[in-house]
Amino acid sequence: MTQPQPPPPSASEAKTVKAARTRARILDAALALVEEVGYDKATMRAIATRAGVAPSNAYYYFRSKEELIQGFYARLHEEHMVVLGPALESAKGLREQLLAVVDTKLDVAEPYHASSAALYRAAADPKSPLNPFSEASRPVRDDAIAVFTDLLAGTRTKIPADLARQLPRLLWTWELAIILRWIHDDSEGRRKTRFLAERTADLIVKLIRVSTLPGLGPLRRSAVKLVAELFEEDAAAS
Amino acid sequence: MTQPQPPPPSASEAKTVKAARTRARILDAALALVEEVGYDKATMRAIATRAGVAPSNAYYYFRSKEELIQGFYARLHEEHMVVLGPALESAKGLREQLLAVVDTKLDVAEPYHASSAALYRAAADPKSPLNPFSEASRPVRDDAIAVFTDLLAGTRTKIPADLARQLPRLLWTWELAIILRWIHDDSEGRRKTRFLAERTADLIVKLIRVSTLPGLGPLRRSAVKLVAELFEEDAAAS
DNA sequence: GTCTATAACCGGATAGAC
DNA sequence: GTCTATCCGGTTATAGAC
């Protein structure tokens, strides 16, 4: 299904090490170039030249330009994790903490805003590894979801157990939606995106509160059940 | 902002008519080819050949391949309107009518499922005229929203006035979401998409009911206000 | 069998002559 | 308004070096 990728640790170590280095060089060149000149101008030829290899060599290690850019997400996510810790510490209450997550995410992503449309275009393809729902994106996705799991574990807000189980994935979907808005947002300081984030964070907290009302139990349960089924269906084969 | 398009009715009629014919020929060829062989294989060269012109001539009339495919939406929408009427007649109740809208939409779109990923990819670009939120998509979008306006006007379900005003656009967004799922859906008979449509239709009807509860007035009002602001912000310049 | 390079294909898009 | 000739960038066939 996949290419050599990180060739399974077998055979002579020497060769493997060399390959891994070449692979890393290409990846570094790709990410640096995208950062400097944007996705479109970061051509495969330019990336290869910068890495000191032939264009087709990049295709030996990566199946497509998109896959080559996959490392992008991981890098963004790492940077996000670094700044998120302190931000969460100083955020009081669920609303503020939710906002801290997406606000820091947007901060970290800001340098790539110009490239984001091109990246999103690629990510829109169901078949692309850049697709946030893809198998290739799973490690980063699971980690991003875990952020919300941890956050909720530490909150004093009361949340029904069935809802609590689905909430991390729902909140991750919320984060995706905010990012989607951000991609389209050309207002100064991404004003519109920040506005959307704040207002929807308010709404989410209110909805969680309301969901504890006894009269709404049936509605909540059927909604939660639907969400659970949808996420599970993704896990199963199509 | 745009190209010659339908060159403003001036100058000698003869030329204008000829241009319009050439334009129509190219458009017809494009849509037919996409239908026959899919978006990717419908190359600009093939489209141009079929229309009996040079490739660059197509670019004289359309700024990009994507723009050339714009007519696609309008055609799909027209077909949808044709089958929707009868379907709505035989649907009893709000839930059934909502489902009738998206079910017929999916039926009409089914022949293009294979092309849909490519089209969606193009549509994902904020700058693309294919983007459903774009100015170019406005006529079809407004018409699709009007479907829900009409549907709601005829329903016996009680809906708070403030919510009723936003609901058509919200439901259109719901329709978009279902289509998005459909694009990614490779299950037999698009089982998963139909499932999602049914369950979310249930949920929508339940939510509308619940929204009339007096205790939930404040929450409903702030949610409705947010939605209204978001849609208005789109109308204004960025 | 692992890695790398040369040369070429293919399709979207553009320049510029007529 | 239409064409011919080309560019340009992603991608691949292929061959050969280590």
Rounded distance between C-alpha atoms, residue A7 and residue A181, angstroms: 38
CA dihedral (B130, B132, B134, B139) in degrees, to 10, reads 100
> Does the global pTM surpass 0.85?
yes
Rounded distance between C-alpha atoms, residue B31 and residue B70, angstroms: 9
What's the pLDDT tens digit per position in B23-72?
Answer: 999 999 999 999 999 999 999 999 999 999 999 999 999 999 988 988 78
Give, to the nearest 10 degrees, the angle between helix B191-210 and helix B161-183.
Answer: 170
Q: Which residue has the higher pLDDT, B235 or A203?
A: A203
- Residues 154-213 of chain B with CB under 8 A from chain A are 183-187, 192, 195-196, 199-200, 202-203, 206-207, 210, 213
Rounded distance between C-alpha atoms, residue B180 and residue B121, angstroms: 11
Rounded distance between C-alpha atoms, residue B109 and residue A112, angstroms: 35
Largest CA distance in chain B: 68
| Strand D close to B131 by CB, under 7 A | no
A18 touches chain B (CB under 8 A): no
What's the pLDDT tens digit per position in A2-19?
Answer: 444 444 444 445 567 889
Q: How far is the CA of B232 from the CAs of A39, A95, B159, in angstroms?
A: 32, 25, 22
Cβ contact A68:A30 at 8 Å: yes
Run of H or E residues at B32: helix B13-37
Radius of gyration of chain A (CA): 20
Residues of B in contact with A226 (CB under 8 A): 199-200, 203
Sole residue written with tokens 């907290």 = A205
What's the pLDDT tens digit per position in A129-160?
Answer: 888 988 888 999 999 999 999 999 999 999 99
Residues of A in contact with B206 (CB under 8 A): 219, 222
What's the pLDDT tens digit per position in B131-150?
Answer: 888 888 899 999 999 999 99
pLDDT at residue B235 is higher than 80: no
Give A207's Cβ-side CA count (13 Å radius). Answer: 21
Quote the pLDDT of residue B238: 45
B66 touches chain A (CB under 8 A): no
Question: What is the SS3 assignment for B235?
Answer: helix
Cβ contact B137:B73 at 8 Å: yes
The encoded tokens of residue B190 equal: 């698009």
Cβ contact A137:A130 at 8 Å: yes
Rounded distance between C-alpha atoms, residue A28 and residue B29, angstroms: 44
Nearest CA in chain B to A118: B125
What residue is closest to C8 (Cα–C1')?
A: A56
pLDDT at residue A217 is higher than 80: yes
